[in-house]
Structure 1
Amino acid sequence: MHLASTPIQVPIAPPQLRVARRLMKLCAALLMAAVGTQAQAAGVAIVIGGALKVDNDEVWQRIVDEAGGAGARFVVFPTAAANPARSGAQIVDALRRRGAQAESIPLAPRLKGADLQATLRDPAWLERVASAQGVYFAGGAQELIVDTLQPGGQPTEMLKAIWAVLRRGGVVAGSSAGAAIMSATMFRDAQDTLQIMKGGMREGRETDRGLGFVGPDLFIDQHFLKRGRIGRMLPLMQAKGYRLGLGVDENSAALVRGDSIEVIGAKGALLVDLGEASSDKRLPAFNIRNAQLSYLDRGDRHDLKTGVSTPSAVKLKEARLDPAASDYKPYNKSEPFYLDILGDTTIVNAMAHLIDSPLTEVKGLTFTGHRVAGDAQPDLGFEFRLYKGAGSVGWFTGAFGGEDYTVLKLRLDVQPVTINRPFYTPLQPR
């Protein structure tokens, strides 16, 4: 379409002129999103692992600063929330207290009196979204976000307006459900991690299309370490052909800008690389060999293009834990076995123990402790074997008041096992 440079001499009344200008601004913003939702974006996707505390100034302030700092205008989508009015108000308040201008969009299936279709098509709302510097998605049920903004896999004009923000260098942030939608594929509703490992993964039920704000090549999951979700990430990545996955923990965030990842907040994120992984097709259950795991702690960075991870400045001041170095002096002496490898933060605790230990490997299990109705494979469990390989290194610091590790390039094998029942028996009197 060619737009003439000479103004058309048609008298326009003031109200019509305002409407015309509004529509022209909206069209210009939406044209930026017309090249397709999977292209590289100029802005930053801020993936928050869920349970973001209101006093986490590092994350909240960074969200505002990335959008331009004081005065940056945000629109909040409480679409996923169980109580959209309350969630939207809380997020608006948190952003305003860090200097942003923020407002909540009344676009939520659970919002009483809301007209979803009218809001999705409203030119005024579309303009306010497209011209914002930041977008924030609340937590809740991620299926409500995709079903509202991308019904049947087709982007609405509202979703295109959100993409316009990211394409011109703005921020798209989301916590929990708002993080799940960040990749092109997402878990829709898959609360039972072990059942996913046992093959219970159906398109449109447990998995679905996400919105793809981090691009097509990186899979995202949330509440990751707290809920042991590496158990569900690995089968999905294997099934969908993902090489890279990023699992962000609670009260923490990963900033994804192009090929760069930066981790901030209270804890960190687990980066999974299946570039050299394989599986044994002869086995009748999920299995994987030579997956590569790296734990990126707060302040750490990773370059997706080069594959290079850089620990925070705090960590770099400490001694490097390199098992291949002549001066390697590991601290840990015990040889643990993890009976619940998918427990709260257990996988990272095992990684930290191994990198700071003379051991070459550690093992753990995941299995159902008791029979569950509907479980066709109650005695199927999985052994996790973590081991050192080429490039396995780590760093430790006590500067944050705890024992904080960065661990790079450990390897992981997962194989199916049969759980004997009873798993144990009481000792009998002599």
Structure 2
Amino acid sequence: MALLLCQLPMNAHAEDATLQQSKGSLVIIGGALRVDNAVVWQRIVQQAGGKGAKIAVIPAAAGSPERSGGFAVESLNQNGAQAFLIPLSVKHAQFKPEDIVNDAVWLDKLKNASGVYFTGGDQGRIVQALVKPDGSKTAMLEAIWALYQRGGVIAGSSAGAAIMSTTMFYDAKPVLPTLKSGVTDGKEIAAGLGFIGPDVFIDQHLIIRGRFARMLPVMLKKNYKLGLGVDENTAMVVSNQGEVEVIGYKGAILFDLSQAKTDDSQKNFNLSNARISYLDRGDRFNLRSRTLVPSTDKLLHKLNPAQTNNADHRFYPDILANTVVTDLMFHLIDGKQERAIGLAFGMDNPAELGFEFNFSKVAESLGYFSSASGAESYTVHNLRLDIRPVSMNLPIYK
């Protein structure tokens, strides 16, 4: 499969600008979607037309497609859909993908459906099943695009989220090695299916796994100005007008690299003047106008820089750890501190090389706060982020 993807042009099956004017919508889920997350499951059904909507479940990414596909069908049906399983998978014990993608029965079912749901697993398997070796679309992928263009919903969790942009992680390294070594077409990254269009990069499992930083080398290499990374058990609903709404358990990280620069004289990864935002559940962001509308419970609670809540100054020795980046952003936007530093080091080669993440407030930085749910929640918009390589003398102890 790796060889197959290496032979494909990186955007061979990405749609052109005219096809991105779809009447449909996307539900992009960060992975680990729980069966009891009715808000997300019901929203997929709603976007597909409501109760009784026919939604095709495609488990192509899954290691156990029958089990994963069956779980998704059951979850959708419990929330009002008439979902059905298309047994498309390179891992399926009974059916070959090349037979399924050309089968008139399944193609007719897609013509009568109003939604498609891609399960999690390995996103490379989705591309392998739906894209021909020469990079052209199979009949089934054509049918999926037609469904989207006529107003249907394309939903996907984890691997099903990764395929939404024109570039996706394929055989990704951990976050810190990705910063140190970069990414290569056909290895760490490959072409996605491009439903969200060519201007936005998508990543998943983002905050809980500290993956936010790995988006940046890809965005720079492929010239993305906007990147959205959604957390687990959380979804981004994207309308055909470019409106993104966050729903579910937590939130999403937004990167804007419109003003960002790199110093090419340095051999190691570096970045200056990027913008990073945290979109909480209920928040909306327009990809075209780049405007933010916080959730209703936060609208009346815009943070005042002169009346901050946090007086202590914090330092973050492991910025890539679970949820640390959002903890830093919340504390910074609601504190006296004007900047906060986080470090990233590991034992991979070279062990002495790490990175300093410098987050700072600028004139356009905004924060919103709510405790309506009984827990504190924040929306943070437009913090500045600068990243530079740093070294540590080893061994630390002699």
After TM superposition, the structure 1 = structure 2 runs for residues 155-170 of structure 1, keeping only pairs within 5 Å, are 155-170=137-152
Contact kept in structure 1, 2:182 and 2:217, CA below 8 Å: no
Map of 2:70 onto structure 1: 89
Alignment of 1:120-159 (within 5 A): 120-152=101-133, 153-159=135-141
TM-aligned CA deviation for residue 34 of structure 1: 9.6
Alignment-mate amino acid for residue 283 of structure 2: D
Return the match for 1:65 from 46, 69, 77. 46
Distance change (3 Å), C-alpha of 1:147 and 1:198: same
1:344 aligns with 2:322: yes
The alpha-carbon distance between structure 1 residues 36 and 155, as it changes in their structure 2 partners (threshold 3 A), is farther
8 Å contact from structure 1 (residues 38, 216) kept in 2: no
Question: What is the CA–CA distance in structure 2 between the aligned matches of 1:392 and 1:315, rounded to whole Å?
Answer: 16
| Matched residue type, 2:372 | A
Call closer, same or farther: CA 1:317–1:362 in 2, change over 3 Å: same
Out of 244, 249, 266, the position equivalent to 1:266 is 249
Give the distance between the partners of 2:128 and 2:340, measured in 1 at CA.
42
Preserved contact between residue 245 and residue 271 of structure 1 (Cα < 8 Å): yes
SS in 1 for 2:340: strand
- Alignment pair present for 1:280 and 2:263: yes
Letter in 2 for 1:296: L
Where structure 2 has 5 or more consecutive residues not aligned to the other structure, the ranges are: 1-13
Q: 1:52 aligns with which of 33, 41, 45?
A: 33
State the number of aligned residues: 383
Amino acid at match of 1:182: M
Spell out, residue by residue over 1:110-167, the C-alpha distance to the aligned partner (whole angstroms, 9 max, x if none): 1111121111111111121132111000000000001111234321111111111110
Contact 1:78 1:138 in 2 (8 A): yes
* Distance in 2 (alpha carbons) for counterparts of 1:297 and 1:416: 30
Aligned-pair CA distance for 1:35: 7.7
Q: Letter of the 2:272 partner, please give it.
A: R
How much has 1:317 moved relative to structure 2?
Answer: 3.1
Q: Which residue of 2 aligns with 1:383?
A: 356
Gaps of 5+ in 1: 1-32, 426-430
Looking at structure 1, the residues matched to 51 and 396 of structure 2 have their Cα atoms a distance apart, in angstroms, of 59
CA distance in 2 between partners of 1:315 and 1:424 (Å): 48
Partner residue of 2:218 out of 236, 251, 259: 236
- Residue aligned with 1:121, SS: coil
Q: Which has the larger radius of gyration?
A: 1
Q: Is the 8 A contact 2:15 2:197 kept in 1?
A: no
Question: CA separation in 1, counterparts of 2:238 and 2:197?
Answer: 10
CA 1:342 to 1:306, structure 2 compared with 1: closer, same or farther past 3 Å? Answer: same
TM-score normalised to the size of structure 2? 0.93
What RMSD, in angstroms, separates the aligned Cα atoms of the two structures?
1.6
Offset of residue 298 of structure 1? 0.2
Q: What percentage of residue pairs aligned between the two structures are identical?
A: 50
Partner AA of 1:247 in structure 2 = G
The offset of 1:422, in angstroms, is: 2.7
1:39 offset after TM fit, Å? 2.5
Partner of 1:187: 169
Higher RCO (C-alpha under 8 Å, 6+ residues apart):
2
CA distance, structure 1, for counterparts of residue 101 and residue 208 of structure 2: 35
